[in-house]
Amino acid sequence: MSLQDTVINTETVAPGDKEYDDAVRVLFGTGSPALVARPRDADEIAAALAHAVRRGLTVSVRSGGHSLLGHGTNTGGLVIDLRHLDGIEVLDVDRRLVRIGGGATWGRVADALDPRGWAITSGDTAGVGVGGLTLGGGFGWMVRRYGLAVDNLVAARVVTADGRLLTASETENPHLFWALRGGGGNFGVVVSFDFVAQPVATVHRGTVTYQLDDAAELVVRWRDAMRSAPEEMTSTLVLPPAAPGEIPEAMVMLCYAGEGGAGDRVAEANAAIEPLLELGTVLRASIAECRYADLLEDTAPPPGLRIEGRNTLVRSINDEVVDAVDRMHRSSSPAMIALRSLGGAFSRVMSGATAFAHRDAEAMIIAMVVLPGTASDDDVAQALLPWHAVAARGMGSYTNFQSSASASDVAAAYPPATYTRLALVKRAYDPGNVFARNHNVRPGDGLPRPRRA
Ligand SMILES: Cc1cc2nc3c(=O)[nH]c(=O)nc-3n(C[C@H](O)[C@H](O)[C@H](O)COP(=O)(O)OP(=O)(O)OC[C@H]3O[C@@H](n4cnc5c(N)ncnc54)[C@H](O)[C@@H]3O)c2cc1C
């Protein structure tokens, strides 16, 4: 029996098939798996998993394929590509309850909810998958207004490593539900997510470009403006690496998600945006009201480059943090530094309430290093040297913006109590660590047996 034959009734792509070259490629990697399965329902997922477990194959689960580590493909294993599970179904209009397939992308979700005047806070990029972004937490343009994507999740249907279909919610398999909200793809294949959408038809978005005279001063001014901003306002300060011969610039990207009558909304948006126009010498500004669906961009990194992301969440943008960011920006590191504002609804969730634990962070700081495709690990380490001083001032990191998944990355993502609980959930739902191609949580000791859906 061939590898392909044993995955009964599932669309598959195997080496030699004409689609194979496309099927094994994701944004940050090209693999050579033994088989790519494209299931259409939970039974087909279970069959694919049984096939992998029988043969001891590495399992990759793919939603939008945007993992920074290329986890959506592998070498010699099985890829479960969820592209056919991309349905978006309104379950309850009054509650704005929406069921979204585990393989949908956020751009399609935004487009589907737009005619109802609804939106779910998600990421900034249309092609990112609902699966990967949600399971890591999900930082979007309305994070201060509506929290993380997972803060709007009320249930998920999950196929576990042994092929059972379980519902996870506050009342069914609650430990699993807790773990899915930040613990990544460690616990099973999520067939669908049930979210409560928010009444958001339009938002004000903008980019303000500043002449960058003094990065430290700009960071402090942006921080102070965001400390007194309403939580309808979310913004990111971007410090690109200095380009030789060019006037240094910095950008503030903003999104104001307000409610109220048309007049009120515009006036309130303008009042909230104004302080972000006064941080320094403005070179350009473009601000407009748009559909939430138009906010999501469809960007992909140019091919042939090596891109490495690191991030840390800081409790406070204090003098030490400002100094470390400033030093990194002044260094020769080819890193783009971005500071994403947090607080608001994001911080009102208790740290222990979800597996994403770093709730008292004022900001997330991201460093994105772009190097030639030929860059070695040593080149990357060199480019990231000034980052260590920034990371040392953080309380931990967000898995989804981390191009590294070592044991220390996992430890940075999950504080000890969170990790211990995740390890117990892992033991209950994936004791054989079938789902290991992620920021991996190892099975630990003792939770009650899971309940069936
Ligand atoms: C251009 C770009 C922009 C981004 N913007 C944002 C942003 O604004 N906010 C933010 O929070 N993150 C953002 N990210 C990070 C993003 O959240 C992660 O890269 C995420 O893992 C991508 O999800 P995916 O489903 O597209 O990726 P995939 O590679 O398909 O999946 C990533 C991992 O998630 C798990 N997984 C995915 N789907 C399922 C499922 N249904 N069931 C079980 N496990 C599953 C698997 O472990 C898989 O390896 C961005 C990334 C990129 C490349």
Task: Write down which residue in 199, 222, 243 finishes a domain.
Answer: 199
pLDDT of 7 higher than 80: no
Q: Is 169 exposed, middle or buried (0-12, 13-18, 19+ CB in 10 A)?
A: middle
Residue 439: CB atoms within 10 Å: 25
Task: Examine the domain organization and report whether 174 and 104 are in the same domain.
Answer: yes
Task: Examine the domain organization and report whether 17 and 76 are in the same domain.
Answer: yes
Of 22, 24, 40, nearest to 32 by C-alpha is: 24
Q: Ligand 1 in contact with 185 (CB < 6 A)?
A: yes
Task: Examine the domain organization and report whether 124 and 48 are in the same domain.
Answer: no
Q: CA 195 to CA 192: how far, in whole Å?
A: 10
pLDDT digits (tens, 9 = 90+) for 260-276: 666 688 899 999 999 99
The three-state secondary structure class of 78 is strand
Q: Give, using CA atoms, the residue closest to atom 17 of ligand 1.
A: 133
- Would you say 78 and 33 are in contact if contact means Cβ atoms under 8 Å apart? yes
Single-letter code of the amino acid located at 63 = S
Q: Give, using CA atoms, the residue closest to atom 36 of ligand 1.
A: 132
Task: Examine the domain organization and report whether 195 and 120 are in the same domain.
Answer: yes
**Cα R_g (the chain), whole angstroms:** 22
Q: Ligand 1 in contact with 70 (CB < 6 A)?
A: no
Domain that holds residue 27: 4-81
pLDDT of 202 higher than 60: yes
Q: Is residue 99 part of a domain?
A: yes
pLDDT digits (tens, 9 = 90+) for 49-58: 999 999 999 9
Task: Examine the domain organization and report whether 76 and 95 are in the same domain.
Answer: no
**H or E element at residue 282:** strand 282-291
Q: Is residue 437 part of a domain?
A: no
Angle at 191 between CA 194 and CA 61, to 5 degrees: 125
pLDDT digits (tens, 9 = 90+) for 346-374: 999 999 999 999 999 999 999 999 999 99
The distance between the two most distant Cα atoms of the chain, rounded to a whole number of Å, is: 69
Task: Write down which residue in 148, 173, 199 finishes a domain.
Answer: 199
Q: Is residue 147 part of a domain?
A: yes
Of 324, 1, 265, nearest to 117 by C-alpha is: 265
Single-letter code of the amino acid located at 133 = L
* Average pLDDT estimate for 231-245: 92
Q: Ligand 1 in contact with 394 (CB < 6 A)?
A: no
111 alpha-carbon distance from chain centroid: 19
Q: Give, using CA atoms, the residue closest to atom 47 of ligand 1.
A: 185
* Average pLDDT estimate for 116-125: 94
> What percent of the chain is predicted at pLDDT more than 70?
95
The three-state secondary structure class of 301 is coil
Determine the atom of ligand 1 nearest the C-alpha atom of 70.
Answer: 29
Q: CA 227 to CA 245: how far, in whole Å?
A: 34
Q: What is the mean pLDDT of the chain?
A: 94
Cα atoms in the 13 Å half-sphere on the side-chain side of 171: 0
Of 61, 99, 148, nearest to 340 by C-alpha is: 148
The domain that contains 25 carries what CATH number? Answer: 3.30.43.10
User: What's the confidence (pLDDT) of residue 244?
Assistant: 79
Q: Is residue 442 part of a domain?
A: no
Give Cα separations from 305 to 162, 265, 372 (angstroms): 39, 42, 5
Pocket test for ligand 1, best of 28, 49, 62, 66 (most atoms within 8 A of CB): 66
User: What's the confidence (pLDDT) of residue 260?
Assistant: 62
Q: Ligand 1 in contact with 168 (CB < 6 A)?
A: no
Q: 448 pLDDT band (50/70/90 cuts)?
A: very low
User: What's the confidence (pLDDT) of residue 208?
Assistant: 98
| β-pair partners for 341 | 363
Task: Examine the domain organization and report whether 157 and 77 are in the same domain.
Answer: no
Q: Give, using CA atoms, the residue closest to atom 8 of ligand 1.
A: 123
Q: Is residue 299 part of a domain?
A: no
Task: Write down which residue in 181, 199, 217 finishes a domain.
Answer: 199
List Cβ neighbours of 320 (8 Å cut-off, separation of 6 or more): 393
User: What's the confidence (pLDDT) of residue 299?
Assistant: 81
Task: Examine the domain organization and report whether 44 and 100 are in the same domain.
Answer: no
Task: Examine the domain organization and report whether 108 and 183 are in the same domain.
Answer: yes
The domain that contains 118 carries what CATH number? Answer: 3.30.465.10
Q: 243 pLDDT band (50/70/90 cuts)?
A: confident
Q: 1 pLDDT band (50/70/90 cuts)?
A: very low
Q: What are all long-range contacts of 449-453, with beta carbons under 8 Å and residues at least 24 apart? A: 450/160, 450/164, 450/166, 450/173, 450/176, 451/166, 451/172, 451/173, 452/164, 452/166, 453/157, 453/164, 453/165, 453/166, 453/167, 453/172
Q: Is residue 68 part of a domain?
A: yes
* Average pLDDT estimate for 235-239: 98
User: What's the confidence (pLDDT) of residue 332?
Assistant: 84
What the block records as the tokens of 332 is 């020769």
User: What's the confidence (pLDDT) of residue 298?
Assistant: 87
Task: Examine the domain organization and report whether 32 and 92 are in the same domain.
Answer: no
Q: Separation of 260 CA from ligand 1 center, angstroms?
A: 33
Task: Examine the domain organization and report whether 195 and 92 are in the same domain.
Answer: yes
pLDDT of 245 higher than 90: no
Q: 304 pLDDT band (50/70/90 cuts)?
A: confident
Task: Examine the domain organization and report whether 63 and 149 are in the same domain.
Answer: no
Among the ranges given (1-10, 88-97, 317-326), the one the predictor scored with the smallest mean pLDDT: 1-10
User: What's the confidence (pLDDT) of residue 248?
Assistant: 92
Task: Examine the domain organization and report whether 56 and 96 are in the same domain.
Answer: no
Q: Is residue 341 part of a domain?
A: no
Question: What domain count does the chain have?
Answer: 2
Q: Is residue 313 part of a domain?
A: no
Among the ranges given (70-79, 164-173, 327-336, 428-437), the one the predictor scored with the smallest mean pLDDT: 327-336
Determine the atom of ligand 1 nearest the C-alpha atom of 191.
Answer: 41
